[in-house]
Amino acid sequence: MTSLTNKRRLTLIGIDLAIFVGVYLFVCVLLSFTQALRLPFYGFAFNLLTIYTCVFAARLIIGVYSNMWRYANAILSLKLILADFVGGGISVAITILVPFADLGGWRTCALVSMACIMTLASRFVYQHAHRSQNIAHNKSSSEKIPVA
């Protein structure tokens, strides 16, 4: 059972990584169209790694991945928000010190906030799908005629 739990936890972290990278790429494309920011490629890469490392380290330390999300409640959602706030603040402090990778405090906060909202939305969709699947399964089981 432990290996299944670890597999689900790793899957959850992988989904979070995909969401985070997707949001980051969306923000970078948006910034490149508006020409509001001109960073070299390695600046964007350093920024992505810094923000990802800070946010996910905070999530691990605060215990966001310690529970399965299908049974999550408001406390676990608040832990995710707190972890992203702490990790985002640390990443802002780090990237401000590195001139070639500074997105700016507001842009970094917006990026972390968008990733947090998308992560929470994915959790809610997962919970809804899991609940709907269980309801459908219980309905089909209860419609069977018992045979003696």
* Separation between Cα atoms, residue 62 and residue 83, nearest integer Å: 6
Secondary structure of 5-39 in the HEC alphabet?
Answer: HHHHHHHHHHHHHHHHHHHHHHHHHHHHHHCCCCC
Tens-place pLDDT, residues 41-90: 788 888 889 999 999 999 999 988 887 665 667 888 899 999 999 999 99
- Other Cβ atoms less than 10 A from the Cβ of 69: the count is 21
Tens-place pLDDT, residues 99-147: 787 777 888 888 999 999 999 998 888 877 767 766 665 655 555 555 5
